[in-house]
Each structure stands twice: as structure tokens, then as C-alpha cells.
Amino acid sequence: MSPLLTLYRFEVRSALRERSIVINSILLPILLYPGLMWLMFTGISFVRGQTDDMASRIVVSGPLEAHAPLDRALRQDRRFQIVDPAGEDAAALRAGALDARLELSVHPVAALPGNLQALVVYDGSHERSSAARQRLVEVLEQYRDLQIRTETLARGVAARDWAGFLVEGRNVASERDMGGFLLGLMLPLMFVVMVAVGCFYPAIDTTAGERERGTWETLMTTSASRTSIVVAKYLYVATFGCVAGLLNVAAMALTMRTIVGQLAGGAVALDFSVRPEALPVLAAGAVLLSAFIAAGMMVFASFARTFREGQSMITPFYLLVLLPTVFLSSRGTAFSPALAAIPVVNVALVIRDALSGVFQWPLIGITVAVTLAAIAGLLRLAAAIVAAEAVVAGSYSGTLATFVRGLFGRAAPAPKETAR
Amino acid sequence: MIPVDVAGLTKIYVDQSRGEVRAVDDISFACQPGEIFGLLGANGAGKTTTLRMLSTILAPSAGRAAVMGHDVATAPEHVRRSLGFYSASTALYPRLTGRETLEFFARINGFPEAAVAARVEALITRFGIGEYAGARVDTLSQGMKQKVSIARTVAHDPPVLIFDEPSVGLDVLNALEMQKVIGELRDDGKTIIFSTHIMSEAERLCDRIAIIHRGRIHACGTLAELRAATGRHYLEDIFVHYVEQAGAAPTP
């Protein structure tokens, strides 16, 4: 078995026994977002159910008896409970003792004798009061439609002609297009977050963690080459990032299909299955993204001597990775050559487009080239760090910035000597 | 072949406050098969720096060193394959079991794959790890960790072993057990370099002793030779004699 494979297997096996890594890189991607979404929708459904089951307590003032259909509608509708006015209505509304007041009056500029003006008084800060207003508006609109139909028919005009013109819409997107669009809005952002989370703990564990546990020197005295050690550690971190990202995509797609589909209740036709032609692009994107983030995190964590130091050193890079993804939440962001030159954002946009069935091959080409170049640069830096004697011996007390300046001969002490 | 051959080995650090520091200054020695060669010196004398150069963690500033004929500067991986390195700062991986630890270190140091399982079982038996071989290292007692640690040092059956202050942090019984094991390894024909600042350990274990102070070796020989050269009986007195002769008081 090659030293590289031996080291890689050892790193993975060891990581799978570390609770924080298993939780953050495997369980969190699977459970967090589906769990959050389930909790959120369960909460919304619960509140909605509570409100739906409650009768709205309303007070009606004005000439209701002159509008028999409206009076009948309000009294027969079990969603309303018409109560007698008791004291100051506004105070009762604010106190939650009353849900809404309907004030009916004759329209000041009424063209027809039956014209009516309706005012719904409610407290927008109370969910129950807002629901009462919505219910009242619904009943009033139905009564208005009835009145318009009655009056127009009495004058020999059909209601459709009275409307003047009709506005209709027709969505040419298929169910899959709509599902892909929604997935494309959410998945790339969550994918970047999850890959970063997936890489975070392994990157610290395999660098600062080794030093903190005192195993760094043990490893350095084995016959494995420094290159093998760096590459095995890098592959281990990238693997966990990639797995975290892919598990999250799978979990999210499944969640969207089951939970969101059920919530929509058939009102919106959505198909959240990922297009087969997008799968290779998604897989390549996952590999590129995790390879880049793993390389960056390992470089940033290389100088840490304790787990806590590692967290502090990696966090700026972590935030740096997440920052550009703000662009992704904007629906109108078009994938352009300029965006294709920005690592992380470019891969996320490729994934977003692929989920919607859009494949801009020149931009995908730029994305691959830029990301590979960035990875190569970071790995060269990582190799230089591990070759630095002071880092290997654990005596280097500087930061990444000091080290980089040292490489270019602008700072002292530079890690001039190397250990092989 | 001389298992360990060191000539003019030097290590210079550039320290911001102290300037150029010669941690190891032109030292030379050679170790023979089946010999325990002791590096005796106070803290900061240059013992660990010397051993780190031999194990290729540090690169020499000048001079040369070879382990089993492999130069530390040009063939570091061959050097590391030829030696086992044990020190208080070479800890074990806490999440692996004792058996997994031995398998890993045998494989990573190039022990033939087909023979790894048999080698690991032999080590488990020899060091009395059997009952605990399947337990994670972080659950083991200090004494059992020490056994696993020595076993992982010799897992790939290297001809040369380096023990850098191995009894640091051990209680008396574990320290004696450590000395016993090192003696047995010598009897197996291993070449052992043993660094310590504890005189009694050096007296009991070492076939030859090099007294190192401020990066330089001031004397090297068997205990009898050192006694004859100084006219002193106890190693402690011999050590003080050479340190004073070097024109410096011993480091407390």
C-alpha cells in the first residue's frame, strides 16, 4: 500500500471517530437544513391552524339590514362571531378582546342607491385581528361582485363586458423548470456553506489538532515524504468538504420535494428532481469547490498550534468564502466572464445555471481554469509551508502574512532553512 | 557499515534577540551495532537538536550525518525508514486503537505489507499489550501508552533507534520499565542513541557516553574510559568536571 493511501485512510478513519467532525461534516449537512425547514413549516402550519380554528370576533355598525345578502353571509359564516359593541372598540382591539370592527356607511358620492362604503378597523400587530380583516375583506369582495353582477344585469350588460379587459397569465416553464429555478436559488448558496463547514473541522484537526495532540512530530519522523503527508491531508479535507456538500444537496432536494411539495398542496406545480445532464456538472462543481476551500483552509490553519488558534486563523478565510455568495441570493445576477473569474462565486453560478438547465460552456471553462489555478497556487504555498523547517519543528511563531512576506524576502525571520 | 556516522554536524539558528546561535557546534561521533550510545547533557545542551537533525526534522547547517549509509541531507526518507524515533514530544494518535497504531506505523514506514499482521501480533505479545490492543489509545493508562509508544517506534523493525529523554514525565516504575525495554532492544542488536540528563540512567544503560555542553561534545567514551580520564568515579562528578573544563557552570 502506498504511503499516500495509507496516510489518507488513516486520516479518514481517525476523523470518523471524532465527534465534532462527524457532526459538522456529515450529520449537519444531512439534517440541519431539512430540519430547519421542517421546523419552520411545522411552526407556520401550527400557527395557521390555530388561527383558522378560531372564530373572528367582530362588531358591525351601520345599515347592515339594508344589505341582506351581506348580513346573511356574515351571520352564516362560522368563521365570524358577531358580538355586541362593549365600550371603546379601539381599546378592545388593542387588548385582543375584539378582532375587527366593520363600519358600513352610505357612499358619499354614490352613483347608485345601494352603494356602500365599508371600513374594516383592525390591529395589524395581532395575528388574529389581521386574519379577521382578511376574512371580512373576502366576504365584502364577494358581496361587491354580487352587487356588480346584479346591477349590470339589471341594465342589460354582462359582467364580463363591464370588466373592460381581462388580464391573464400563462407560465411556459415546466414543473421541472420551476423546480430547477427554485433549487438554483437556494442550493448553490447552501452548497458553498456546507462545503466550507465540511472542510472547517477536518482542516483544523489535521494541522493544528496534530500539533495540539503532540502527534505532528511523530508523523514527521515517519518515512513518508512531506509531499505525501501534505497531499494525504489535503485529500482528506477535500473529501469531507465534498461529501458534506453533496449530502447537503441530496438532503435539500429531498426536503424540497417532500416538504415544500406538500405545503404547496398542489397549488403550484413543482418538480424538484435534478436534471440528469446537470449531474456531471454538479459533481465537478462539488469537487472543484471542495478542492479550493480545502486548500485555502489548510494554508490558513498551517501555522496554528492549538485547535482554538486554528479556528481563529481559518475563520477569516471562511467568511471570505461565504461573502461573495451574497450575490447568489439576487435572482437577477447573470453569470458573466467577470463573475467567472471569482473563485467560489463562479462554481456556485455554474451549479445554479446547471440546475436550471443552462450550460454556458465558455464560462464553465473559465471557471474551471480559474479555480484550478487558485488551487495550484494554494497548494504550492502549502508545500512551501510544510517544507519550512520552523513550521515542521513547531517553533514558527509568525502568521500566514509574515510567512508570505518572508517568502518574498521582505520580512525577518524568514523560514530560510528547509527540512526534507 | 557504521549504523550512525556523524561528522562536523552543526546547527545554527538566527535568533532576533540573540543573533546567531550555534545550537550544535561541530560534533562528530559514530555508533556501532548493538550499542547504546548516550548523549548526556543539561537542558538546552543541544541533545534534541542533534537528534532532530539525525531524524531529518531539522536540516544541518554544516557537517554531515548518515544513518545506515543514508545521508540525512540527500536521502531523508531512507534515513527515516532506517530509524525509530521516540521522545516525550512524539505522542500517539488518541483515536486509534493500539493495534491500529502499530499497523499504521509499520505500513507508513515501509514494512512489507504481507508481514504487517504477523509483526503487529508479535509486538503486541512482546510488549504485553494484548488485552488492550483493541482499546483506543486515549483510554489507556500512562504505562500502557508507553508500551504502545515503544512498540510503534520499533514497528517497522528499524536497525537504529533514537530515544530522546524517554523517561521525561514517567514515574519511577515506568522509567525502570523503559530502561529494561531499551536494554532488551540493544540485546536484539539494535543501535540505540539515548539522550538524557539523568546521570543514573546513563550510567546504567549506556555502553558509551558523549558529554555534550553548549552544542559541543567535550568527551566521549565508555564509563570506564571517562573515569580513567578524569580520575572521578561518579558520572555526575565526571560530567561536572567536563562542564567546568569547558569554562562554564552547569545549567541548573
Domain extents in chain B:
4-89+163-245
pLDDT band at A412; cut points 50, 70, 90: very low
Question: B87, A392: Cβ pair inside 8 Å?
Answer: no
In B88-208, which residue ranges form alpha helices assigned H by DSSP? 98-108, 113-126, 142-153, 172-187, 199-205
Superfamily of domain B4-89+163-245: P-loop containing nucleotide triphosphate hydrolases (3.40.50.300)
**What residue type is assigned to position A127 of the chain?**
E
Question: A413, B136: Cβ pair inside 8 Å?
Answer: no
Tens digit of each residue's pLDDT (9 = 90 or more) over B6-32: 999 999 988 777 788 899 999 999 999
Task: Match 358600513 to its residue by C-alpha cell.
Answer: A104
Does residue B198 sit at the A interface (CB-CB below 8 Å)? no
Residue B241's region, left for phi above 0, alpha for psi from -120 to 50, else beta, is alpha
Q: Is the pLDDT of residue B174 over 60?
A: yes
Interface of B with A in 10-69 (CB under 8 A): 14, 16, 52, 55-59, 61
Q: For position B240, what pLDDT does the model report?
A: 94
Å between A387 CA and nearest CA of chain B: 10
Three cell numbers, residue B215: 552544542
A413 preceded by a cis bond (ω within 30 of 0): yes
Q: Which residue spans of chain A are classified as CATH 3.40.190?
A: 54-155
Chain B hits for A224, Cβ within 8 Å = 77, 108
Interface test with B, best of A223, A392, A397 (most B CBs within 10 A): A223
Could you give the ipTM of this predicted complex? 0.89
In A207-306, which residue ranges form alpha helices assigned H by DSSP? 208-213, 216-220, 226-255, 261-264, 279-301
Contact A185, A331 (CB under 8 A): yes
Å between B135 CA and nearest CA of chain A: 13
Q: Is the pLDDT of residue A164 over 90?
A: no
Residue among B97, B66, B98, B96 nearest B83 (CA): B66
Question: How many degrees, rounded to 5, is the angle at CA A52 between CA A48 and CA A57?
Answer: 125
> What does the pLDDT average to over A250-257?
77
Share of chain A above pLDDT 70, in %: 88
Interface test with A, best of B57, B67, B80, B113 (most A CBs within 10 A): B57
Tens digit of each residue's pLDDT (9 = 90 or more) over A318-356: 988 888 777 666 666 788 899 899 898 899 889 888 888
Burial of A412 (0-12, 13-18, 19+ CB in 10 A): exposed
Q: Is the pLDDT of residue B74 over 80?
A: yes
Residue of B nearest to A7 (CA): B108
Chain B hits for A222, Cβ within 8 Å = 80, 105, 108-109
Share of chain A above pLDDT 90, in %: 22
Tens digit of each residue's pLDDT (9 = 90 or more) over A174-221: 777 777 777 777 778 888 888 998 999 999 999 889 888 889 889 999
Q: Which residue among A7, A217, A417 places its CB closest to the CB of B90?
A: A217
Interface residues of chain A, partner chain B, Cβ below 8 Å? 1, 3, 6-7, 10, 13-14, 17-18, 213-215, 217-218, 220-225, 389, 392-393, 412-413, 417-420
Question: B110, A223: Cβ pair inside 8 Å?
Answer: yes
Residue among B142, B150, B239, B226 nearest B196 (CA): B239
Alpha-carbon torsion (A18, A19, A24, A29), positive or negative: positive
Task: Please tell me the class of the A54-155 domain.
Answer: alpha beta
**What residue type is assigned to position B104 of the chain?**
F
**What residue type is assigned to position B240 of the chain?**
V
Does residue B78 sit at the A interface (CB-CB below 8 Å)? yes
Distance linking the first and last C-alpha atoms of chain A? 22
Instruction: Give me the sheet containing A56-61, strands edge to edge.
Output: A80-82, A56-61, A100-106, A116-122
Mean pLDDT of all residues belonging to chain A: 82
Say how many CA atoms lie within 13 Å of B135 toward its Cβ.
Answer: 12
Three cell numbers, residue B90: 512524539
Å between A267 CA and nearest CA of chain B: 52
pLDDT band at A255; cut points 50, 70, 90: confident
Count how many pairs of residues, chain A against chain B, have C-beta atoms within 8 Å: 83
